[in-house]
Amino acid sequence: MTDWLVSIEGTQTGHQVALALAILAAFLHAVFGALQKGRHDPWLTRGAIDASYCLMAAPFALFVVPWPEPHMWSIFAIVWMIHVAYKLLQAWAYTKGSYTVVYPVVRGTGPLFTVIGAYLLFGETFTAVQWMGVGTLLAGIFGLAAYNLRYLETERDTLHLALGLAFITGLFVALYTTYDAYGIRATENPFTFLAWFFMIDGVFMPPIAYLRWRRMVNAPAVPPLMLRGVFGGIVAFLSFGSIMMATRLDKVGEAAVLRETSTVFAAVIGWLVLKETVGPRRVALMTLIALGAVIVEMGG
């Protein structure tokens, strides 16, 4: 598998596989976001998820994949710090705003800065049509933010903070997408990066979640929380693993933009599963974000 993946990097086959992986990551990331925002406190859910994928990844990192090359340790350290900041901001944003408010702004802001980062780090460029797609995507993002500011009746007291946190979180999405792409390209075996990433990344949030759980007056039962954590850990492997592999096989900017079709999946999940009011205008704006991602792919 590893030899085949390495052999298709930068080829048309690699492009098609990266496209499929990016769309898979879009759906799974919407599921992942709903898991964190759903039944339990977002901090507790994230802690349970991180603990699960840390423990699941450890045997593969320690005993299955080749050990990282010496230069990878500094890369892992930077990756870890970026992801810690991202997770803290994401959990904070979810405590201040609903899923369908926070998620589209987070996921929609990231691609613009990822495209810029991919140009600076990898020399990737976009065509005029692709930049039109980025503009369409941004119109959907800021249209959605403006709609929420004007019409959303609930969470009025925390809405501005939720949107601000969502925007900053989107910057960190771009940062980790770009730097993760650099990291997974810096090692010979991509599965080495993935296994060690998940093991290292999972150590920060569980202690924070545990301390928060202990301070709660009505703390949730642990078994249902950990069951959600295990499911979320599996989703995280498939979601983050898919987009990281896509950025190794093909252009980072295109993969990042295509992943943001997740906003459409998020709208459906928020409506059907979380019972949040979405409405036709917000659905249209979320679809505009996804349309921008499609234009980017078609214009390449």
**Structural domain spans, the chain:** 2-298
Does pTM top 0.85 for this prediction? no
Q: pLDDT tens across 103-140, in order?
A: 777 877 777 778 888 888 888 888 888 888 888 887 88
CA distances from 205 to 37, 44, 120 (A): 15, 9, 31
CB 263 within 8 A of CB 86: no
Enumerate the H helices of 64-221 as residue ranges.
72-96, 99-122, 128-151, 156-185, 190-201, 205-215
- In the predicted model, is pLDDT for residue 185 greater than 90? yes
146 has pLDDT over 80: no
Q: What is the pLDDT of residue 300?
A: 63
Least confident of 15-29, 121-135, 153-167, 220-234: 153-167
Q: Tell me what the pLDDT averaged over the chain comes to.
A: 84
